[in-house]
Structure 1
């Protein structure tokens, strides 16, 4: 039985309780054929000292949405997903509103995955481009 879009998003947000995602107020907000979108508020909790979004918070948003995308779009009954490497190119600063991370697969292999993650602001300006590689490892029985 396939879950509804709302049920998948609710489940993803529920498992984020008591994690970094909850601390940064990252929430999964949309998904469709081959993509997942998360958002994070830009406020003093994620600022660097000069009052703009910290690149580390951006990378945490990107890794969160990319890992969840692997979780949602892979058959994970017998495996779990871990991040291997993340890169982030920050193109523009932002100091208020929300940033949105859209993760799409560039490669969806049985063992390794590569995701493209575009970070945009409320006005659809490109803030950062990230790449995340993940690995699927067998669950211990």
Structure 2
């Protein structure tokens, strides 16, 4: 799957929360030498998605992200970035997740809000 191709791991998901990480490598950097925004968005969407799939209500068979808002507050060039996502709204047809991405020193790099549309069988 795509998250594995870019090196994302999500060791914890369930109970309305999820956590994952990405070890920054040269192929994650933009031409300016800093972490590419797409890598950060991919991490946040993936971690929120794992949280969503573990929090599906009865009758839902999956989900698709319909909106993702990002506020970038910093960047990184190396080390591990970690995303922690929490369920804000768990409805019958949608879920909303807030996610924070931090670097290995605990600095906030980005804040996200992801909305998922729940798919029915």
TM-score computed with the length of structure 1 as normaliser: 0.80
The total of aligned residue pairs comes to 121
Unaligned stretches of 5+ residues in structure 2: none
1:78, distance to aligned residue in structure 2 (A): 4.2
Among candidates 87, 105, 110, match of residue 69 of structure 2 = 87
Unaligned stretches of 5+ residues in structure 1: 1-18
TM-score computed with the length of structure 2 as normaliser: 0.92
Task: Name the counterpart of 1:40.
Answer: 22
1:26, distance to aligned residue in structure 2 (A): 0.3
Higher relative contact order (CA 8 A, sep 6+): 2
**Structure 2 CA distance for aligned equivalents of residues 34 and 138 of structure 1:** 20
1:79, distance to aligned residue in structure 2 (A): 1.8
Task: Name the counterpart of 2:44.
Answer: 62
Among candidates 82, 103, 117, match of residue 121 of structure 1 = 103
1:42, distance to aligned residue in structure 2 (A): 1.0
Greater CA radius of gyration, 1 or 2?
1
Task: Name the counterpart of 2:120.
Answer: 138
Q: CA RMSD in A?
A: 1.4
1:75, distance to aligned residue in structure 2 (A): 3.4
